[in-house]
Amino acid sequence: MYVEGKAKIRKGKAFLNPRAKFLRDVSVAFVACNASRGSRILDATAGTGIRGIRYYLETKSKKVTMLDMNRSAFRSVVDNVLANKVKADVAFTSIQEFTNTTKGNFDFIDVDPFGGIGPYVYDIMKVVRDGTFLMLTSTDGAVLCGAHPSACMKIYGSVPMHNELCQEAGIRIMINFVAGIAAQFNFGVEVLLSIWDAHYLRVFLRLRHGSNAALSSLKKTGYLHYCRKCGFRSWETGFVAKEYKCSECGSGMETAGKLWLGNMYDKEEVKRLLSYLKEKQGSSKELELINDEYDVPFFYSIPVMTKRMRSMSVSPYKVVERLREKGYQATKTQFDPSGVKTNADIGKIKECIT
């Protein structure tokens, strides 16, 4: 028996990773902070049913639907739903089949498949409304982060970056992908929270209906340029990449995109989730870090910079402190323990390193 939150789960032959507890805890907090009794929740890749069961037991919502297309997983969901005395709809079906035949829309949709979200986003858009919250996990980090660039181009339609920025670029490629499909259905996306946790990339979005909403989120997508020679980077929104030369050293730059260049967090939402989690389980170091993170595209890896500059290593905390003393915004980042996010330019950062 595996106990998590208020759920008591028998695994059977279904998939359950205890290491994903943090992301499930945040997801429960997210639903608890945003749902009412009538909110309709779809746990579209239920596995053992742990998420749907926790949403039912730990939030106000009492309208939970759980799907799984694998027979053993479906049996496990049914057993766990009965054992936990949960009144939910459980279906032995695929997301694709379900969304083609179901009527009505959901307020929350959780997709947590094996691998990436690529094959599922188009289908879930058939059962959404203005304001639907999407909670989406990808575990194909190797694809999104550039170990297999052709797979990223094929699945996500984007060129990835394969360097120290690859994880942040990967999650931004994932959001760009959702924004592109949402726009086809006349929806825009608001990004409420993005989390990189080991090999999980999880995003929490809210859909906004209408042509203006769709176009305004597409306007927040574009390209990242990176100079391998000096570490300078720039980004530009738009459908066509224009900049290619490094304005610091004149070298050609590598380009990744399209990717999301808007905010990664809604800090009001993050604060709500933090206080919920603090009340339930003490603290959440991961969310504290996110709450403190300066929400600007891309960080500077201090060890990568000191290596390039051939200078002594320096703690990222020290660099943050020095940048702040000079009046700049500067914080650590969830994407790299040695990374710094700041609004200072690369020249000022170099001054704070030496």
Ligand X SMILES: C[S@@+](CC[C@H](N)C(=O)[O-])C[C@H]1O[C@@H](n2cnc3c(N)ncnc32)[C@H](O)[C@@H]1O
Binding flag, residue 20, ligand X (CB under 6 A): yes
Q: Which residue in the set 232, 260, 265, 299 belongs to the binding site for Zn ion (CB under 5 A)?
A: 232
| Helix, strand, coil percentages in the chain from 3-state DSSP, rounded to 5 | 40, 25, 35
**80 contacts which partner out of Zn ion, ligand X, none, CB within 5 to 8 A by kind?**
none
Nearer to ligand X, 135 or 183 (CB): 135
Site string for Zn ion, 176-205 (x = CB under 5 A): ------------------------------
227 binds, among ligand X, Zn ion, none (CB under 5 to 8 A by kind): Zn ion
Among 67, 121, 241, 277, binds ligand X (CB under 6 A): 67
- Cα separation, 14 vs 249, in Å, equals 54
The nearer residue to ligand X, 14 or 193, going by C-beta atoms, is 14
347 token code pair? 């020249």
Which is closer to ligand X, CB of 68 or CB of 336? Answer: 68
User: Which residues have C-beta within 8 Å of that of residue 195, sequence separation ≥ 6?
Assistant: 23, 26, 201, 202, 203, 286, 290, 334
Beta bridge partners of 102: none
DSSP bridge pairs for 137: 202
- Smallest distance, Å, CB 138 to ligand X? 11
Please report, as residue ranges, which positions from 91 to 130 form the binding site for ligand X (by CB under 6 A).
94-96, 112-114
Q: Return the one option of ligand X, Zn ion, none that residue 230 interacts with (CB less than 5 to 8 A, by type).
A: Zn ion
For the chain, how many residues are written?
354
Per partner kind, with CB cut-offs from 5 to 8 A, the member of ligand X, Zn ion, none near residue 246 is Zn ion
> Is 263 in contact with 273 (CB distance < 8 Å)?
no
Residue 246 is a binding residue for Zn ion (CB under 5 A): yes
Q: Which stretch binds ligand X (CB under 6 A): 69-77, 194-202, 268-276, 319-327?
A: 69-77
Query: Which of 7, 22, 51, 81 forms a contact with ligand X (CB under 6 A)?
Result: 51
- When binding is defined by CB under 6 A, the residue of 5, 7, 24, 338 that contacts ligand X is 24
Phi, psi of 305 (to 5 degrees): -70, -45
Q: Which of 31, 64, 66, 73 binds ligand X (CB under 6 A)?
A: 73
DSSP string across 186-235: TEEEEEEEEEEETTEEEEEEEEEESHHHHHHHHTTEEEEEE-TTT--EEE
Q: How many chain residues touch ligand X (CB under 6 A)?
A: 21
Closer by beta carbon to Zn ion, 248 or else 292: 248
Cα 122-125-130 angle, rounded to 5 deg: 155
The per-residue DSSP string of 26-69 comes to: HHHHHHHHH--TT-EEEESS-TTSHHHHHHHHHSS--EEEEEES
**Residue 138 interacting with ligand X (CB under 6 A):** no
Q: Which H/E stretch holds residue 301?
A: strand 300-301
Binding footprint of ligand X on the chain (CB under 6 A): 14-16, 20, 24, 45, 47-48, 50-51, 67-70, 73, 94-96, 112-114
